[in-house]
Structure 1
Amino acid sequence: MRLNYLRILAFALGGLSTVIAAGALYLYATFDGLRLATELSQFVRQRYQRVLRIDGPVELSMFPWPALRLPATSLSSRNSTGEFMAVEQASVGVRLLPLLARRVVVDQLELDGLRLALLRDKNGRLNADDLLAATDKDAEPITSPLEMDLGALHIHHSALTWTDEAAGRQLALSDLSLESGQLGRNAEGRLALTARLTRAAPTTDLQLEIQTAYRLDEHTWPQRLRQLHATARGDVDGRQGLVGEIAATEILSTEDQPMQVQGGSLQARLKTSAGTLELKGSSPRLQLDPHGPQAEQLDGSLNLAGSPHSGKLQLRLSGLTASAKGLEAQQLEADIELRTPALQLTGTLAGPLRWPTGSPGPELPTLLGRLDLTPAGPEARPRHIDTEASLQLDPARGSATGGLSLRMDGSHLRGKWSVASSASPTLGFDLDVDHLDLATLSSQKPAAKPRSNTAEAAGSPLDLTSLLGLDLEGTLRVDQLKAAGLHLEKLRLPLRVRDGRLVSTGHSMSLYGGSLEGSLSIDAASRQMAYRSYLQGASLGPLLRDLNGTETLTGTTNFFMDVSSAGSTRDALLDALHGVARLRIRNSTVPGIDLSQAFREWRNQIGTRQGARRGFHDKESTAIGELTASFQVDKGIATSTDLLAKGGTLKVTGEGQVDLARQSIDYLSHVTLLAVPAGIDTSLRGTTVPIRIKGPAGRPDWHLEAGTGLPAAAAAASRKVVRQSSRITPAKAVDKPGNKAQPVPAPAAGNTE
């Protein structure tokens, strides 16, 4: 009995196959491609008021499966206002049985050379709204010769453009390729898309790739995406080498429920002038409702890997909720780690987060914590900084602003900061500090370097790497500052660093009873530096003592300089220095020599026109009233021809050079006695004696010039003094071996010994 049933079934299937094959042969023999193209064109014109143009007949292929082959085809915009869509060629896989009834049910679709132009006008209307709109129930039904029930979709070598006239935006997808499985009611499959995204403003050139598994419900709503992975690589708004990745284990979406994202993560890498910037974020479970995202926990990190700067910012967000009032999070905790050639900064800040409705971005009203600042150096120790900060983000503009309050070692810094988006983010600041000692930042036990290390430090390369990769601009004000041994007050330092170039224009300060205004520029790449400043009314003695440990000159000084140089070491900079300088000192005192005493000692040499040398005496000095001089600086040599000092009993003119790199002086001065001190013949009044100042700039020797440089009147007067002195001075005292000249017993005026 069963065998009979099987035989009957086999005969029935065989007969059905024969009928289908015969129908297929009949269909192939009687297929009219021109008629089908005409019907499709008429349907599109009647239903959508668009023009469908098919450049040739539609062909039918039966092997390996039934398919319609379309030649070049185009579809106009509504009411024939330009091209909406076009395709170079298409293959439409169709089902056989509906085709016998002259209905086209699409099973597979393959498009090559697709061009699609989407546009949203200024009123917000999309040029595809009529194609996407549901059919009016009251309208007369229009029988469509085409039905879609896709089992597969293949798109190759295609392009899509999007124009938003309302927002003034335009972008294009080119080299578009898409492969999908079944598309339709209750369909499942995998989708893969690759394309190149370009945009004029901001300049964008990205290579996109998306892969995911999907499931569609009966209303074709994307109910589930699984194992989603999307990447983007290219350049955006001048930022080169951008790599972005988004992944999710599962995304659930329905019409009446918020979207759920399980195992979501994102990652982005960007090359900047400071190094490679990497952003990461993840959440075990994220819900996206109409008010915004909600999550129990969100983790993120921002890493900068570069040289000489590197850093890491680790973020943990907990208790994120969304409502009509905006977003709120119970706690945001940030772990900070920043490394530069000059310092290391680590610490933790924490505080609540909120994003009120209508605000441009999230706000962190109060971030509290402690940071540890460790300067570079083997003896440096961490400095603890009690920190209070605030933050306001504006994602649309790519900017951030905030406030800052830092307390460290009794110093208090407060002010505002900002970050503006560009090819390299720009840090802005406006800060005030009550007092600051830079020595406390650099070492646990600050101490002066021994002299043996001075030459080594002068020849060591200057480290300007801290300027590379920085982009900042702002103003720093310090009420009291101690730096390099100097005590400064009311410092105002405008500062700009960009592309490895530091510029400070219009900085000012008070120091040692005077004031200074100036401008500075440093280029890290070319090692070029320029400085221009004017110091006036400063007390020179204390300034030099705090700077160098010795008072080379004293008095109230005005000093102008405009110099520039280039070099990789301090000595190289000084050797290449050129520019101009002017000096004026009132109530000046020159240490190291008492000229009245020197004249007494040199009376024999003056009389015989012989040279003499006198060393630097720590306990001697000479008051010279007011001193002025101007300098031309070339290759590190400061040359002056107009030295003038006048006051008290002396008038001094002169010319000479100062070697800045070697810190030596060679100056020929012409000293005129306006009043003759006790012990010197009055006939020397008004005469000029040449004295050369030569040796280390801080402790030079004093040389009486020999020969014709000594005036005859001065020599004759000195011989007279010698003869008078020989009558009252024992010969032994005068001719004592080892003494070139013996002073007279009378004390010299102004002698400090």
Structure 2
Amino acid sequence: MKNWFKRGLFALVLFVIVALIGAAVFLLTFDPNAYKNKVEQLVYERYQRHLKIDGDIELSLFPRIGLSVEQVSLSQRQSEEPFAAMQSARLAVAVWPLLWNRLVVDHVAVNGVRVWLERDQQGEFNFIDLLQKNSPTPTSQANVNLAPIANAQAQNASLIPDANQAEFQIDIAGLDLQEGEIHFFDQSSQTQMRLVNLELNTGRMTFGQPFDVIFKGALQGDKPSADAKLQGQAVVSLEPHLKRYAAQRIHLSLVGQVGAYEARSATLRGGLELLSLTEDLRARQLEILSQGRWQDDETTLNKVQLQLNAAQLNLKRNLSIVDAQKLQLRLNGLLPVTEGQAEHKVELALDAPRLNIQPEQVQGEPISLSFKQQQGTTMFGVNGRVSELKGPLSELELGRVQLDVARKTNEAAWKMDASATARWEQETTRLSWQDVVANLNVDREGLDPNPANAKLTAQGDWLWAEKKGQLKGLWQSANTQAHFDSTLEHKENWQLGVAIDAQGIDLNPWLPSAERTAARRNPAEVKNSQPARMLPDYVQWDEMDMQLKLSADRFRYQQVELEQLQLQAEQKERVVQLKTLQAKVFDGAVSGSAKWLHESAQAELALQLKDIDLAPYTQLLTKQRWLAGKGDAQLKLSTQGRSALARRAALTGTMQLKAKNGHVVGWDMWQHVRDANEAVRNVFGGQIVLPVQQYTAGSSTPFKSLDYQLQFNQGQGQVQKLQWQAEGFKLSAEPHSYVDAVNQQMDWGLRIDLQKRQLPADHAELAVYAEHPLFIRLSGPWSAPFYRLQWQRLAHPVVQQAIDSGLLELLRTKRGSVIGLETETVPAPPANNPKTLGNTLKDLLQNK
């Protein structure tokens, strides 16, 4: 027994000595660099990627297997472009666990890792082939058809990975990564981002067992531009045999600029799980919080606060499946305002208690979305709600969709509540809505009645892929019933077309009365109020191409009432054109065209009015009823400016009027001359009656024909022609008679020639004034001018005798001034550069 033991012990010692000698000889003679080409060939045969090891490989076997390598790179699949590279890596492997099919690594240190991730147009990442377990590619039997075998294997293979397939276990004491870089490029969106200066440390790493990960780095990007610091930690679990990768207790924080958003703080918490075999991404107890500032070329939002919560969120690749539980989104911030103004708040909220979207079936509880803007007393808000989701995604029924919109300002408040049944068709990307019912309510000072109400019933659809839709229905409000058909389409820009066929359209219930508004509003509020810009104000209507066709039996706007209206208008390239206008108006007919240029704020108007009633026409132009009878009018005007004052100052063009057998309202010429005659006759008695010198609604003077032409140039209208033919006299305008459109003043010199032989019998006593012309000056506000007899210009002997006898002194005593005694005998011509209100204020400021 002793001999046997001695012989065994001796053999064991001899074996150890031989093993040590063999290991020493192996270490002294083995060169791992000789196997570089073999390793590179194996990698290419398996993955069709080029592996390059430019540095030396160092190997040690005692007391552990140690490996260090430098300058290693791996290419993209079937390309020379780099996929990954590293400067150096070191690791040590325990020998004995290898006998039990376990890889135990004491520590891994990697330096200078760079990875280029890419996502193609189909959504595939460039590393998917590395995660797949490929079968060896046969190098022979090229003529053998393996498709039947592959199909049979695919049919029998289970979609659920088998945990028993894990034949090799890896245990790493820890990973230390320094100076890493991860580059990302998305072909579809052209997104380019990179994570640089990456440092990563892990705890003990074992497949199937959770381990800690801590990392930090800098996020940079070109599209979008980014410069932010990123750091985080999580508990990670890797199960490659199950194609499952999970991270729990995630705490990720970011500070810096990402695109248009500057994050003062941003955190992500929760758990994520990736199932690469089924291409599922699952999130649990997800929470995203952020504070910062958003600023791009169009919008600035300060003090942004974002909160996103989801108890459960499951996503399938390309969002083919979405399963969300208790999804909530809250976003608020402040829009910039000028100093002294109230804060302009913006709020957005989304609530989806349960939403499950699958191709075969979509289910969900009511989803609500709200948006609100508020600055002081000005507010705009939108609330939307989808009651139910049912049916397959290809033909999804949205149930009853509700939409409430409201806006409030200091002057007015309006709200609209709408509802409709909606349907989504996936194949044609068509969203259709039926049974649309919308009620509009406007409460505004000066409306009559107040509030104004309207009802809209319609149906329509929207094609998302083609970016076009339509809406047609019926609009009903006070004195208005109109059928409409509208289309909206986006080609190079947005194009809106509207066709309206109405029995009657009355816009007056929606227009506030200026008198009632002024009476109810506080002047201080008008002065201090500044309109806040709400969401509808951001729509650039002038950039949109529009077409309008309007046919209405009756149309009313303010004092204008049209019948049998036919109108065609369009807006294109920021130019609005009224191409066709035909209607009956003022018991006559009107036709014309107009143009407005947004860029230069220029306007053109051409109107022809035939056989119209002159009373409402003149009252529309000057707010006074100046003429009665029938006549023709023609306007050809142009102007420029973005305010009423600027447009009046730039008014240029002609206005013509021809009429027969009518009356001039507000002035009785015969009575005016008779009053003057009585003043002349009574001068010796010392008691005179002054002629009426202002507009009098009950007075009028008939005419047989009236021909009038006014030429405007930069807001100043020169009377080119005024010929008034009547029984017993002729009236004409003197040179330099003009109208000032800027200040709404007029100054006309009128010459009256009495015709002795044609004097009416009841005016026979005025024959003495037929020998010489009479001169009257019409001046003052054009809504209520003064008529003044030019006494000193009258060459009649009886008038001169009365003046010598003290007529002018009596007139002065009667009124406190000499009525009709002006230093100039004819109206002064308008200045070439008329002084506007702005010039006057400028002169006053310069004189201070």
TM-score (norm 1): 0.69
Q: 2:779 matched to which residue of 1?
A: 694
Distance 1:336 1:694, change over 3 A: closer
In the alignment, the residues of structure 1 paired with residue 268 and residue 399 of structure 2 have an alpha-carbon distance, to the nearest angstrom, of 35
Equivalent position of 1:337 in the other structure = 406
What corresponds to 1:328 in structure 2? Answer: 397
Give 1:44 shift. Answer: 1.6
Other-structure match for 2:589: 514
1:690 is displaced (CA, Å) by 3.0
Residue 289 of structure 1: CA displacement?
A: 1.9
Go from structure 1 to structure 2 and tell me whether the alpha carbon gap of 1:395 and 1:379 turns closer, same or farther (over 3 Å shift): same
**SS at structure 2 position matched to 1:334:** strand
Kept in 1, the 8 Å contact 2:731–2:750? The answer is no
> Any stretches of 5+ residues in structure 2 without a counterpart?
1-22, 141-167, 196-218, 220-229, 338-343, 682-689, 802-812, 816-848
Post-superposition CA distance 1:156-196 (Å, at most 9, x none): 542112335xxxx6332334579762332465424677999
User: Per the alignment, in what secondary structure is the counterpart of residue 389 of structure 2?
Assistant: strand
Number of matched residues? 670
**Match of 2:285, as an amino acid?**
Q
1:363: how far off? 1.9
* Counterpart amino acid of residue 87 in structure 1: A
Query: Conserved in 2, the CA contact under 8 Å of 1:481 and 1:491?
Result: no
For 1:263 and 1:95, the matched residues in 2 are separated by 47
Shift in alpha-carbon separation, 1:105–1:379, aligned structure 2, 3 A: farther
Task: Name the SS of the counterpart of 2:387 in structure 1.
Answer: strand
Match of 2:184 among 141, 160, 163: 160
Match of 2:193 among 173, 176, 192: 173
Q: 1:266 Cα deviation (Å)?
A: 4.5
Amino acid at match of 1:403: K
> Which one-letter code corresponds to 2:114 in the other structure?
L
Residues 419-458 of structure 1 mapped to structure 2, 5 A cutoff: 429-441=498-510, 448=515
**1:86 equivalent in structure 2:** 84
Write the letter of the residue equivalent to 1:639.
Answer: Q
Q: CA deviation at 1:372?
A: 2.7
Using the alignment, how far apart are the partners of 2:741 and 2:24 within structure 1? 104
Any idea what SS the aligned residue of 1:182 has? Answer: strand
Corresponding residue for residue 12 of structure 2: none
Is this contact kept in 2: 1:320–1:327, CA < 8 A?
Answer: yes
Aligned residue among 732, 749, 753 for 1:672: 753
Cα separation, partners in 2 of 1:685 and 1:369, compared to 1, 3 Å: closer
Match of 2:633 among 547, 558, 561: 558
Provide Cα deviations, 1:335-389, integer angstroms capped at 9, x if missing partner: 3323467643334333322112422232222223534332356997333433323
1:552 Cα deviation from its structure 2 partner? 1.6
Please tell me whether the aligned partners of residues 291 and 326 of structure 1 are also in contact (alpha carbons under 8 angstroms).
no
CA distance 1:601–1:187, change in 2 (3 Å) = closer
SS at match of 1:615: coil
Give the equivalent residue in structure 1 for 2:118: 118
Letter in 2 for 1:692: R
Distance verdict in 2 for CA 1:483–1:594, change over 3 Å: same
Distance, in Å, in 1 between the alignment partners of 2:530 and 2:113 is: 57
Which of the numbers 478, 486, 502 marks the counterpart of 2:560?
Answer: 486
Name 2:659's counterpart in structure 1: 586
Instruction: Quote the offset at 1:565 in angstroms.
Output: 5.4
**What's the CA shift string for 1:519-570, capped at 9, x where partnerless?**
36597x99x67453424223221234467663123342414252435576x6
Q: 1:189 aligns with which of 237, 247, 253?
A: 247
Aligned partners of 2:666, 2:638: CA distance in 1, in Å? 29
Q: Does 1:356 align with 2:425?
A: yes
Separation in 1, partners of 2:253, 2:365 = 34
Gaps of 5+ in 1: 1-23, 721-736, 740-753
Q: Residues of 1 paired with 2:109 and 2:463: CA distance?
A: 45
Q: Secondary structure at the match of 1:440?
A: helix
**Cα–Cα, structure 1 residues 380 and 192, in superposed 2: closer, same or farther, change >3 Å?**
farther
Structure 1 residues 47 and 593: CA distance shift in structure 2, 3 A: closer
Contact map agreement 2:449 2:509 (CA 8 A) in 1 = no
The question of 1:542 aligning with 2:616 is answered: yes
Separation in 2 of the partners of 1:594 and 1:342?
44
Distance 1:31 1:692 in 2: 124
Q: Which of the numbers 707, 710, 713 marks the counterpart of 1:627?
A: 707
CA change 1:251–1:298 in 2 (3 A) is same
Distance in 2 between residues matched to 1:237 and 1:36, nearest whole Å: 58
Contact 2:386 2:402 in 1 (8 A): yes
What is the aligned partner in structure 2 of residue 657 from structure 1?
Answer: 738
Q: What secondary structure, in the 3-state scheme, does the structure 2 residue paired with 1:183 have? A: strand
Does the aligned pair in 2 maintain the 1:272–1:424 contact within 8 Å? no
C-alpha contact (below 8 Å) 2:115/2:181 kept by paired residues:
no
Aligned partners of 1:76 and 1:147: how far apart in 2?
Answer: 27
Q: What is the distance in 2 between the residues matched to 1:581 and 1:26?
A: 114
Cα deviation, residue 83, structure 1:
0.4
Residues 425-458 of structure 1: CA deviation (Å, up to 9, x unaligned):
9876554554344443356xx695599999x89x
Q: Which amino acid aligns with 2:558?
A: A
Change (3 A) 1:462 1:299: closer
Q: Is the 8 A contact 2:469 2:487 kept in 1?
A: yes
State the SS of the aligned residue for 2:706: strand
Q: Which moved more, 1:108-117 or 1:575-584?
A: 108-117
Q: Percent identity?
A: 18
Q: Report the CA distance shift for 1:597/1:377 in structure 2 as closer, same or farther (over 3 A).
A: closer
AA at the equivalent of 2:327 = G
Give the SS at the match of 2:615: helix
Change (3 A) 1:227 1:451: closer
More contact order relative to length (CA 8 Å, sep ≥ 6): 1
CA RMSD in angstroms, aligned pairs only: 5.8
Once residues 626 and 462 of structure 1 are traced to their aligned partners in structure 2, the CA distance between those partners, rounded to angstroms, is: 48
After superposition, the Cα gap between the structure-2 partners of 1:529 and 1:60, relative to the gap in structure 1 and judged at 3 Å, is farther
* Counterpart mapping for 1:91-170 below 5 A: 96-97=94-95, 114-116=114-116, 118=118, 120=120, 130-131=129-130, 133-136=132-135, 139=138, 156-163=180-187, 170=190
Shift of 1:590: 2.0
Match of 2:717 among 619, 638, 647: 638
Q: Is the 8 A contact 1:174 1:195 kept in 2?
A: no
Per-residue CA deviations over 1:685-736 (Å, capped at 9, x if unaligned) read: 79644332223424433333344x55x6xx369999xxxxxxxxxxxxxxxx
2:394, 2:427 within 8 Å by CA — same for their partners in 1? no
Question: CA distance change for structure 1 residues 218 and 647 in 2, over 3 Å: closer, same or farther?
Answer: closer
Asked if the contact 1:417–1:428 (Cα under 8 Å) also holds between the matched residues in 2, the reply is yes
- Contact kept? 2:43, 2:50, Cα under 8 Å: yes
The alignment partner of 2:625 has SS state of: coil
CA separation in 2, counterparts of 1:699 and 1:689? 22
Say whether the 8 Å CA contact 2:382–2:404 is kept in structure 1. yes
Partner of 2:693: 615
Residue 396 to residue 115, structure 1, CA distance change in 2 (3 Å): farther
